[in-house]
Amino acid sequence: MSQKTKWIFVFGLLSFIIVFVSSFSVNAIYTTVFRASISLIIGTFIGYFFYCIWTWIAIDFSAKTIEPGKHSNNNANEEID
């Protein structure tokens, strides 16, 4: 299962369960399933949104890392002098 699928699945399923449980105690089953289905759709969009943000953060941080033992050009020139 890809990372994108995990984000979408978790947010969608959690939103469905939360709305289903909270709505089931006061409403009929048809209303509960309808509201939970709407929250499932909204939860998948929220999961996709967080996936996009997380991939942007991960790419941004990975581009700035330097491997251990490797020096930047400035450090290499200073060691030679």
Q: Is the pLDDT score of 2 beyond 90?
A: no
Asked if residue 7 lies in contact with residue 50, where contact means CB atoms within 8 angstroms, the answer is: yes
Query: pLDDT tens for residues 26-62?
Result: 889 999 999 999 999 999 999 899 888 888 877 765 5
Asked if residue 2 lies in contact with residue 54, where contact means CB atoms within 8 angstroms, the answer is: no
d(CA 51, CA 29): 32
- What are the residue boundaries of the structural domains of the chain, listed by start? 3-80
Q: Is the pLDDT score of 81 beyond 60?
A: no
Q: Write out the two tokens for 47.
A: 């999961």
Q: What is the pTM of this model?
A: 0.64
Of 46 and 7, the structure prediction assigns the larger pLDDT to 46
d(CA 69, CA 81): 19
d(CA 46, CA 11): 7
